[in-house]
A = this chain, B = another copy of it.
C-alpha cells in the first residue's frame, strides 16, 4: 500500500524557518533535513505542487522550484504524470556531490588531503618545455613510461634502500590509476581483498567498482595490526591486500620495521600479494623519521609498491608509478592498451626533473606541513577540546575522534558554515566510523585555523540531536 503525505502534513513536518529567503531553498532544505533525520521516511509520495503551495501560502512556482532542487539533489524521485516520492540520493548523480562539484562553490576544501604545487614545479615545467621537442616526432605513446622517468623512479627506490631496476617500473596516470590497473589485473569480481579500516576512500571506490569482496581489518589505537591482518588472511582466504604502511591515510600511522618484516613474511607464507601504497612515504614531518620501504622485506614478488607525484609535488600532474617484477610491469603495460594507452609525455619529463631536486621539495613540504599541523592542533585544542587525536609523525591528515557519532550531520552543518569536511564513513566500508573526521593539514595554517573555528560554530548550531547517517560514494 502506498504511503503519502498530505500538503497539510508536510507543511507541519517541514518546519521551514520563518523569514528564510529564498523561500524555495528554505523549503527544499527543510524537506531534505526531515528526510535525513528520519522524520520523513523515504518512498513516501509527496503532495501535488499546487496543494502544497496552497497549504504554505506561496506561489506554485516556489514549490516547483523547491521540488526541482530536491530532485537535483536526489531527495525526490518523480515519474511523469504520476507524482514525486521522497528518496535518498544516489551519490553518483545528485547535485552537490563533493567529488564532482567542488569547483562550483567557495567552501574551504577540508574534504581532501592534497597540497598545492611545490615551488620547484615551475622550473621543472620550464625544463620539460625545453626538452619535449624530440618526442614530438614520434606518436607519443609509451605504455611503460618514458625511460628517463623509469630510471629516476628506480634510482630513488635504490637510494631509499630498495634496489630497483628501471624494468621493474611502470609509469601510471597517478596512484589511483595504478591501483585500478593492478586490481583489474589481479582481482576478479568476488575475490576477497583485505584493506585497512579506515583506509583511503578511493581505494574503497575501486574495489567496489571491481566487485571485489572487501575484507576490512580495523586499525587499533596503537597502530599494531599485523596480527589482525594475518588472521583475516587466514579466515578470508584473501590473496590480495591493499595497505598503507607509511603514514596511513587517514590515521597517519607509520608501521615500524619489525611489523613490516612480519607482514612480508606472512605474505610469503600465505601466498598473498601486498599492494603497498607509498603515496605519503616521502613526507615524514621530521627528516630523521625513516623506516625501510616495505619492499625491502619482500622475499619473492609478494610486495607491489604504488607511488605518486601528487602529494610530494602536485596532484595536477597526474603521474604515479608501480614497482613490481619486470613480468608484472609488462603485463600492466599490455593491459593499458585497453585502458588508456599511456601517460602524458610533458608531465613525465617534468617529474623526472623533479626527482633531481626531491630533497628541496621534501624540505619545503616538511616545513609547511609542520606549521600547518601545529596550527591545526592548537585550534582544535582551543575550540574543540572534547575531540581527541594522535599527532602523526608524517603524512597529511589528522584522524580525529569526535565526542559523539555525528560526523555526517556535522559535515552538512559545516558546509553551511563554509567548510567541506570528510566524515569518517568515507573511509570505511559499512557506513560505520560516524565518530571520526579526517582533518588534513595540507592547507595553510591560517586557513586551517579559520576552518576549525567554522566547524566549531557549525557544531554549536547543530544542537545535540543525532541524525541518521548518509554514506556518500567517496
CB of A135 within 8 Å of the partner chain: yes
* Min CB–CB distance A395 → chain B (angstroms): 16
CB of A360 within 8 Å of the partner chain: no
CB of A132 within 8 Å of the partner chain: yes
- Looking at the complex, which of A20-28, A91-99, A373-381 is the stretch in contact with chain B? A91-99
User: A346: which of B103, B147, B346 is its contact (CB, 8 Å)?
Assistant: B346
CA distance A314 to B121 in the complex (A): 24
CB of A324 within 8 Å of the partner chain: no
Contact yes or no, A132 B141, CB < 8 A: no
Given A135-B316, A141-B315, A318-B342: A337 touches B205 (CB 8 Å cut-off)? yes
* Min CB–CB distance A278 → chain B (angstroms): 17
* Chain B neighbourhood of A173, CB < 8 A: 173, 318, 340, 343-344
CA distance A317 to B135 in the complex (A): 11
CB of A331 within 8 Å of the partner chain: yes
User: A137: which of B93, B116, B125, B347 is its contact (CB, 8 Å)?
Assistant: B116
* Min CB–CB distance A343 → chain B (angstroms): 6
CA distance A189 to B190 in the complex (A): 13
* Min CB–CB distance A85 → chain B (angstroms): 19
CA distance A413 to B69 in the complex (A): 65
- Looking at the complex, which of A174-182, A240-248, A455-463 is the stretch in contact with chain B? A174-182
Q: Which residues of A (138-166) have their CB < 8 Å from a CB of B?
A: 138-144, 147
* Chain B neighbourhood of A327, CB < 8 A: 93
Which residues of A approach B to under 8 Å, CB–CB? 91-93, 97, 99-100, 102-103, 109, 112, 114-117, 121-122, 125-126, 129, 132-133, 135-144, 147, 173-174, 176-177, 180, 184, 189, 202, 205-206, 208-209, 310, 314-318, 327, 330-331, 333-335, 337-347, 473-474
A-B contact list, 7 entries, CB within 8 Å: A93-B334, A176-B341, A202-B337, A202-B338, A205-B338, A315-B341, A337-B474
